[in-house]
Structure 1
Amino acid sequence: MLVVFVGLIFVVIGLIHFYLWKRLVKDPLPGKRARRIGAVVFVGLAVLAPATLIGVRSGALPWLAWPGYLWIAVMFYLLVTLAVLEIPRLALTLAWRSRRRPEMEAATVSTAPSAGQGESVLTAEKPPTGGDGDKPLTGEKPGRGETPGSNDKPGIDRRLVLARGAAIFAGLTAVGVTGYGVRTALGGPRVDRIQVPLAKLPRAMDGTRLAVVSDIHLGPLTGMNHARRIVDVINSVQADIVCVVGDLVDGSVAELGRFAAPLADIQSRQGAYFVTGNHEYYSGFQEWVDEVARLDVRPLRNERLEIGGLDLAGVNDLGGAESGDPPNFVQALGDRDQSRPVVLMAHQPIAARDAAPFGVDLQVSGHTHGGQMAPFNLLVKLEQPVVSGLGKVDGVPVYVTNGAGFWGPPVRVGAPPQVSVIELRSPG
């Protein structure tokens, strides 16, 4: 099954690059030499994309990270832009054809030979020649008295202009959007503030602030300053509780342990807590659970603890089941005092469907990156019930933070990195 999936990915990547070559090279560049050079370039780029996804994740080809991921982002926005441009391209092409058809029909009628006009038949069958008598004058432009329909060249010129204009527009758009996205992704996370009422919250805990951060994704493109910027933002909000809801890393402790060191400087009144995300299970989850605990961020491993009049629970990520470390909602939420409010930390928003029977008052999650690269957020909606912000899943309020890092391309468009501050409010 895995082989079939990987094969399908290669086919899709190949088809995308063929389409890009056609629209960016074949259509706007009629010369055979230019097309051949472009074909070689796009074959190389078609190899670069999967090589980056496989080589960087496995650690075998870390040097591919920057060029490979940047090309994947540019490729994505080239594809989106050119796909949108297909609509006006088709409309213009149909309009031109509808205008040329009556002209061509009129030209055919006017040049059709009548009976006995053998000379006209000979003239129609033999193209006019140049001065040397053997080269047709196919490059001549129609005279002032001729209609565009009497020669097919003007239609071809219009299509060429359209193809070149679309290629230039798509290229500038893709590079510009990617550049903006890189700047956004590599900048400091923004603070998103929201108030959430909890019916059972004691008045003494009214105004309790949770700092929620997810998807930091320490990896080959981040470095130590990435975690330092995030920790500085967390500390600036003076939270009561800090919730790190998974996907902290993309690599082993040996590779990235030094990048995670700033987490030890997180400040909060009631502590910092951590649950695993799916990427921890690609990176040696047990050693990261131990490392996070060493940095004084407490892992919640299908467990619950009391913080004043509030219960804080955490479950392992749904992806942990494949690694023998599944979530256990009964262990984390069962047999609790139902008169107390409970906030559940779970990496994926969809986990709320399993948490709903336990009367969870609020779930905080990440995983979606807010879509990371619009309009990809529309596809994320097909997998997760909430992509960004506050929503409800089977009656459970679920807040999803955009995440503070990035996965794959160092690009964020329409979903800036976040540290979210949730202020819990008691009734009355």
Structure 2
Amino acid sequence: MMIALVLVVALTLLALVHWYVWRRTVRDVSAPGSVWRRVGTGLAVLLPLLSLGALIGGRALPLAVERWLAWPGYLWLAVLLYLVLALLVGEAVRPLLLRVGRRRGAVQPQAVPVAAGGAPAPAEQADPADPAEQAGRKGQGGPADPSRRLLVARGVAVAAGATAAAVVGNGAYGVLRGPRLKQVTVPLAKLPRQAHGYRIAVVSDIHLGPILGRAHTQRIVDTINRAQPDLITIVGDLVDGSVPELGPAAEPLAQLRARDGAFFVTGNHEYFSGAAPWVDFVRELGVHPLENARTELGHFDLAGVNDIAGTAEGQGPDYERALGDRDTRRAAVLMAHQPVAVHEAVRRGVDLQLSGHTHGGQLWPGNYLAELANPTVAGLERYGDTQLYVTRGAGAWGPPVRVGAPSDITIVTLASWQA
């Protein structure tokens, strides 16, 4: 019942938003029956249907079919967000533009009719029902005349559309070109002098699916290998689909190279797609899954826990298995997809937690929403004796667009206090 209610509310809100956009960008700027009115109305119906198809298609359609819905459907959601924001700004600007127009109209010199013989002609009685006369009075300080309103409406609509297109275009380019390398230094009190400068590549939220595929994985692998890290950590949300559909897209992960290897923990999206087959598949690629497990590296312990989403399947995080009975004199680094795991990490004496999940908000102002559910949205923060680093991720979920949250692969350089 609750799910149905939420669905109805969401669909109602989506319909109202599209009605508002249609009103401001189609109805208010075009004549009834015009080409733009017909085309704009058709798009106002088609685009939300494509978006809904993209959102639900992954659970019901083959990947090849889903791609045809995902590109226009997801991109439209991003355009819709910034188009609405730009139009709302336009609502504030619109009265100012109309007021400026009225003032300009008010200062125009008025011609005085002259009768025969040079005397001023008697003023004609204005017809209050005459539209021309009404427009003239409005131009002299009253409400804006229809032509001026149309001009302002078209100007606001064009400016809003151009702004949304530019923002989304730039955000899509940032995703499709691949993530950029980011450098962060993290001092650890328990890290021995010999491990000073140890470099960990942190990558998360690759989100292979109907839009991001094998080429995207190859860009990520090449970027990591060029950095020559000592260790590679993949902290969840690798895929949005099944192994048969997306296995070929993930195969470049077999090319990852690091002295101490590459490790993987599940994210919530792995459980949407079938986590167990993916765990087996990445193991075949030479990437080591840490399913509530720990491995002792040369100078610190590396642990990993399953994502919280696995709890419903009896495969949730088990911190006792991953961190219990370890030598607490050694530094511990924990891989956990969601930042909220830091509260348990603090209780377990973890020195550094590596997470993703948030995408840094992905689409501004989404970062403010992400802050409501995550202790840290992006970057490095300290919680007691535990430090938490959250990467913005290397891909994107839904729209292949990022605004205010560029994708990244982070090289975390560990520093010893004894060095």
Instruction: Please give the secondary structure, in 1, of the residue aligned with 2:381.
Output: strand
Contact residue 385 and residue 393 of structure 1 kept, 8 A: no
Amino acid at match of 1:73: A
Instruction: Please give the secondary structure, in 1, of the residue aligned with 2:26.
Output: helix
Amino acid at match of 2:131: T
Instruction: Please give the secondary structure, in 1, of the residue aligned with 2:310.
Output: helix
Name the structure 1 match of 2:319: 329
User: 1:181 and 2:168 equivalent?
Assistant: no
Measured in 1, the distance between the counterparts of 2:156 and 2:59 equals 35
Amino acid at match of 2:170: Y
Name the structure 2 match of 1:411: 401
CA apart distance, 1:308 = 1.3
Q: 1:54 aligns with which of 41, 56, 60?
A: 56
Measured in 2, the distance between the counterparts of 1:15 and 1:324 equals 40
Contact residue 301 and residue 333 of structure 2 kept, 8 A: yes
Measured in 1, the distance between the counterparts of 2:287 and 2:90 equals 49
Q: 2:218 aligns with which of 215, 221, 228?
A: 228
Contact residue 302 and residue 327 of structure 1 kept, 8 A: yes
Does 396-405 or 193-202 show the bigger shift? 396-405
Name the structure 1 match of 2:241: 251
Name the structure 1 match of 2:118: none
Contact residue 10 and residue 50 of structure 1 kept, 8 A: no
Instruction: Please give the secondary structure, in 2, of the residue aligned with 1:373.
Output: coil
Can you list the C-alpha shifts for 1:162-194, whole angstroms capped at 9, x where unaligned? 211110001111111111112111113211001
Does 19-28 or 287-296 show the bigger shift? 19-28
User: 1:79 and 2:84 equivalent?
Assistant: yes
Measured in 1, the distance between the counterparts of 2:5 and 2:251 equals 40
Name the structure 2 match of 1:311: 301
Measured in 2, the distance between the counterparts of 1:199 and 1:67 equals 50
Measured in 2, the distance between the counterparts of 1:84 and 1:141 equals 30
Q: 2:198 aligns with which of 188, 203, 208?
A: 208
Name the structure 2 match of 1:168: 158
Give the 3 Å change call, closer, same or farther, for CA 147–372 of structure 1 in structure 2: closer
Contact residue 142 and residue 151 of structure 1 kept, 8 A: no
Give the 3 Å change call, closer, same or farther, for CA 59–256 of structure 1 in structure 2: same
Give the 3 Å change call, closer, same or farther, for CA 85–142 of structure 1 in structure 2: closer
**Considering only aligned residues, what root-mean-square deviation do their CA atoms show, in Å?**
2.7
Name the structure 2 match of 1:362: 352
Name the structure 2 match of 1:17: 18
TM-score for the superposition, normalised by structure 1: 0.86
CA apart distance, 1:247 = 0.5
CA apart distance, 1:48 = 2.0
CA apart distance, 1:350 = 1.4
Instruction: Please give the secondary structure, in 1, of the residue aligned with 2:146.
Output: helix
Contact residue 204 and residue 394 of structure 2 kept, 8 A: yes
CA apart distance, 1:424 = 0.3
Can you list the C-alpha shifts for 1:98-126, whole angstroms capped at 9, x where unaligned? 989xxxxxxxxxxxxxxxxxxxxxx78xx
Measured in 1, the distance between the counterparts of 2:39 and 2:385 equals 57
Measured in 1, the distance between the counterparts of 2:33 and 2:130 equals 22
Give the 3 Å change call, closer, same or farther, for CA 53–378 of structure 1 in structure 2: same
User: 1:138 and 2:143 equivalent?
Assistant: no
User: 1:294 and 2:296 equivalent?
Assistant: no
Name the structure 2 match of 1:148: 139
What is the aligned residue count? 396
Measured in 2, the distance between the counterparts of 1:321 and 1:266 equals 30
Contact residue 196 and residue 423 of structure 1 kept, 8 A: yes
TM-score for the superposition, normalised by structure 2: 0.87
Contact residue 214 and residue 367 of structure 1 kept, 8 A: yes
Instruction: Please give the secondary structure, in 1, of the residue aligned with 2:337.
Output: coil
Contact residue 96 and residue 155 of structure 1 kept, 8 A: no
Amino acid at match of 2:257: Q
Give the 3 Å change call, closer, same or farther, for CA 151–36 of structure 1 in structure 2: farther
Can you list the C-alpha shifts for 1:277-307, whole angstroms capped at 9, x where unaligned? 0000011100000001111111001111110
Can you list the C-alpha shifts for 1:52-89, whole angstroms capped at 9, x where unaligned? 21114543541211111121121111112112332223
Contact residue 56 and residue 65 of structure 1 kept, 8 A: no
Can you list the C-alpha shifts for 1:140-179, whole angstroms capped at 9, x where unaligned? 6877xx7834875x44333322211110001111111111
Contact residue 102 and residue 139 of structure 2 kept, 8 A: no
Give the 3 Å change call, closer, same or farther, for CA 159–244 of structure 1 in structure 2: same
Contact residue 352 and residue 394 of structure 1 kept, 8 A: no
Amino acid at match of 2:44: F
Instruction: Please give the secondary structure, in 2, of the residue aligned with 1:391.
Output: strand
Measured in 1, the distance between the counterparts of 2:19 and 2:41 equals 9
> Which runs of no fewer than 5 residues in structure 2 stay unpaired?
105-124
Measured in 2, the distance between the counterparts of 1:197 and 1:317 equals 26
CA apart distance, 1:27 = 2.1
CA apart distance, 1:394 = 5.6
- % identical aligned pairs: 50
Instruction: Please give the secondary structure, in 1, of the residue aligned with 2:202.
Output: strand
CA apart distance, 1:256 = 0.8
Does 320-329 or 385-394 show the bigger shift? 385-394
Measured in 2, the distance between the counterparts of 1:21 and 1:147 equals 27
Measured in 1, the distance between the counterparts of 2:214 and 2:403 equals 23
Give the 3 Å change call, closer, same or farther, for CA 98–345 of structure 1 in structure 2: same
